[in-house]
Structure 1
Amino acid sequence: MRRDTFLKSLAAMAAVGALPLSANAAGPNMKMMIPANPGGGWDTTGRALGKALIDGGQASTVTYDNKGGAAGALGLAQFVSGSKGDPNALMVMGAVMLGGIITGKPPVDLHQATPIARITSEYNVFVLPANSPFKTMADVVAQLKKDPGSVKWGGGSRGSTEHIAAAMIAREVGVDPAKINYVAFRGGGEATAAILGGNVTVGGSGFSEFAEYIKAGKMRPIAVTSGTRLEGSNVPTLKEQGINVEIGNWRGVYGAPGISAAQRKALIDMVLAALKTPAWNEALKKNDWTPAVLSGDAFSKFVDDEFASLRATMVKSGMV
């Protein structure tokens, strides 16, 4: 076929939409707000989703903006004010942000952004530094009962699931939750460094964030917040150890304020398509994430219900 004939046939195919997406029209240039510092669960989730969007052809490029602090409230404020009406903007969020809003009462609210989808769920693990004099959760609880302030709990921002879990543990073992010494960090990377350096007594985060350090013997896992032991793990649950605490950590994405119903649907379809890619399945396995997909209005209702449930738990635990 002559070159000019080939080019004419390409043009004709494009005109009737017969070309594949990659040749016909590139996907949009997406912007991903990650309301946490690099190295934590939201950062890993946002970048994994961005890769899946590109690999699946839903996006041409994805740029990332890390803005940590206040359990995601600082990033949320920037997202709400700077992305109004932008159909190509997404923000990672989750249970931690709800807890932060309850405790911090920031001027911004999740209702100002647009719910898109819940994508994963994960349970927390509590760990000790490798050189800790404590060996088990029972050791930590004994010290907590003796002197609550001497046990430094390290984890994400105030209101995070590990913060709530620490308060619930205290309540369950007869210690005033208001007396726990919780050290909040702006991102998973900071919390990890503090634990590895022995600057906190016990640390908490999503299992995937600590997995490599546990495997390397740099952290000693002492409890998970799930109802039953996690698959492939021998770490005992809190319930097994006589502490009636179970709490999960889910993550999702929101769109910008002021987008139309059609734009919201396009974002939902885009995210759901990305979650079916090999790239996303690889991220699920690598990070031990549990798929927990819920989108659109069902996700909106879930967030409202979860907010009410978390608030009730936090009030009961003396955090609010």
Structure 2
Amino acid sequence: MPMLALACLPAAAASPSPAQCLVPSKPGGAMDLTCKLAQHALHDLPGPARQGAVPATDLKLRYLPGGVGAVAWHTLVSQRRAEADTLVAFSGGSVLNLARGKFGKASVDDVRWVAAFATDYGMVAVPANSPYRTLRELLEAIGRDPKRVLIGMSGTIGSQDWMKMALLVRQAGVDPRKMRFVALEGGGEQFVAMDAGHVQAISGDTSEALLNAGSGKVRVLAVLSEHRLPGALANVPTAREQGFDAVWPVIRGVYMGKDVPEADYRRWVAAFDGIEAQPAFAQMRRDAGLYPFALTGDALTRYVRQAVADYNRRAVEFNLVRER
């Protein structure tokens, strides 16, 4: 399967199976990619992933954008909480939104966390013809006059994309609340807005950059990883290499309704455990522009609880008030 082929694959054909993966964004972003990776891994890989009567060979995608994940969350929690074969894509950004109260009076225990099976990293990009050729040049321009650089990001103040950019601009001596940005619905919209000239930079994720960098219209200035990433972004320096201490991994996975029977929940956990055990999955994940990460079931639930606590501590650094 060629590089990023998963991003171009359509949803599975219609089937009697009710199994669905809900994408909490418009097509073309990393949430879409998450469901497609699950869809094709469960369909194509042999062995344990297919042995638990999981109806995954016809896992269908349904798009529920809105509120940067809030619409899909509330749809599942209020209307579909007992559906045994409905999954919802999530990311580290979803967990941050949950922590910050952007899903309303919601908690980690309102859903069942099934599996996280990939990660990518934050990144900053500009148009290929931008005058800013390095992260430092971009941040210095923001420092001189924050109003002159409009940044496209998914979500508003306190969102994951806002937090990533806030970490950077603060190190450039800028009050993050003075950033000028446009809140968009997912990575696909960010690149559309930048291509149209509506924004001068993007705070997003590496998987989304890989979906768009091949067009020749995008210049990725920095990746927010500890070390340079392999593959198509190998020549992009990290933020740390450029003098800015910012690392932001973004896990990707799926959750399901709180009232799903235990046996059904465990079927899906076992299915994703089976996927991770397949050597071919590592290549499939690389083809999607994602990197290794694997937690399921109870271990993932503990991880998400800790992440909520960590995000709340970070929010205090930026004097952000939790939404209610």
* Range into which the TM-score falls when normalised by the shorter chain: 0.7 to 0.9
Q: Which digits, 9 at most, give the CA deviation of each residue in 1:148-174, with x for residues without a partner?
A: 232212122234433211011122222
Q: Which runs of 5+ in 1 are unaligned?
A: 1-25
| Paired residue type of 2:132 | F
Task: State yes or no: 1:305 paired with 2:314.
Answer: no
Determine if contact 1:131/1:198 at 8 Å carries over to the other structure. no
User: Is 2:93–2:159's contact at 8 Å kept on the other side of the alignment?
Assistant: yes
| 1:148 equivalent in alignment to 2:146 | yes
**Displacement after TM superposition at 1:128 (Å):** 0.8
Closer, same or farther: CA 115–63 of 1 in aligned 2, 3 Å: same
The aligned counterpart of 1:87 is: 84
Paired position in structure 2 for 1:8: none
User: Contact 1:171/1:317 (CA < 8 Å) preserved in 2?
Assistant: no
Change (3 A) 1:50 1:215: closer
How far, CA to CA, are the matches of 2:18 and 2:139 in structure 1? 50
Over 3 Å counting, the alpha-carbon distance change for 1:150 and 1:305 in structure 2 is: same
Scaled by the length of structure 1, the TM-score of the pair is: 0.85
Matched residue, 2:134:
136
Identity of aligned residues (%): 27
3-state DSSP of counterpart to 1:98: helix
Q: Match of 1:126?
A: 124
After the TM superposition, which residues 91-130 of structure 1 pair with which residues of structure 2 at under 5 Å, given as runs? 91-101=88-98, 102=100, 104=102, 106-130=104-128
Which structure carries more relative contact order (alpha carbon 8 Å, separation 6+)?
2
1:53-68 aligned within 5 A: 53-56=42-45, 57=50, 58=54, 59-68=56-65
In 2, the alpha carbon distance for the partners of 1:316 and 1:105 equals: 21
For 1:74, the aligned partner's letter is V
Q: Structure 1 residues 303, 72: CA separation in 2 closer, same or farther (over 3 Å shift)?
A: same
Q: CA deviation at 1:212?
A: 4.9
Q: Partners in 1 of 2:33 and 2:277 — Cα distance?
A: 18
Task: Note the C-alpha offset of 1:100.
Answer: 2.0
Assess if the C-alpha contact under 8 Å between 1:124 and 1:204 holds in 2. Answer: yes
In the other structure, the counterpart of 1:254 is 255
Figure out how many residues of one structure are paired with residues of the other and give that number.
295
Say whether residues 1:48 and 2:37 are aligned partners: yes
Q: Deviations over 1:14-69 (max 9, x none)?
A: xxxxxxxxxxxx99641211111111001111022112222344424212221112
Highest CA radius of gyration, 1 or 2? Answer: 1
Query: CA contact under 8 A between 1:37 and 1:43: conserved in structure 2?
Result: yes
Does the CA-based 8 Å contact 1:221-1:235 persist in structure 2? yes
Q: How far off its partner does 1:77 sit?
A: 0.4
**CA offsets per residue over residues 204-236 of structure 1, 9 Å max, x none?**
222122225434421111111111111241111
The aligned residue for residue 314 of structure 1 is 315
Evaluate the alpha carbon distance shift between residue 53 and residue 105 of structure 1 in structure 2; reply closer, same or farther with a 3 A threshold.
closer
CA contact (8 A) 1:54 1:61 kept: yes
2:216 pairs with 1:217: yes
Q: Partner residue of 1:37?
A: 26
Q: Give the conservation status (yes or no) of the 8 Å contact 1:129–1:197.
A: no
Q: Does 1:264 align with 2:253?
A: no
